[in-house]
Amino acid sequence: MNTLEAQRCRLQEELALAEKELEELLRTPNPNKTMVNFYSDLLVRNRELIRMIDTHLSQSSHWITDKAIGIAKLADGLA
């Protein structure tokens, strides 16, 4: 697992915990609006970061695949 994948896993865990804590907060009779905003912003931020990491990992994967295909073609040409 590379650094970005580890970061993504950590963000997923934080996201799940924040969702749970927000649900608990919203179940209280009079939820603190500041805390609701904090958790809502945290959820948006973590989802955005996860999406950006996924995009980057996808692009990296395509780059590696393209390089591997190029190397294989080069090797075939030398054989």
**Which CA distances in Å does 5 have to 13, 23, 49?**
13, 27, 12
pTM reported for the whole predicted model? 0.71
Q: What type of residue sits at position 42?
A: L
Q: How many domains does the chain have?
A: 1
- Mean pLDDT for 47-58 is 92
13-25 pLDDT per residue, tens: 999 999 999 999 9
What is the signed CA dihedral for 41, 50, 12, 33, rounded to 10 degrees? 10
Whole domain around residue 23: which residue ranges?
3-78
Provide the CB-side half-sphere exposure for 59 (13 A, CA).
7
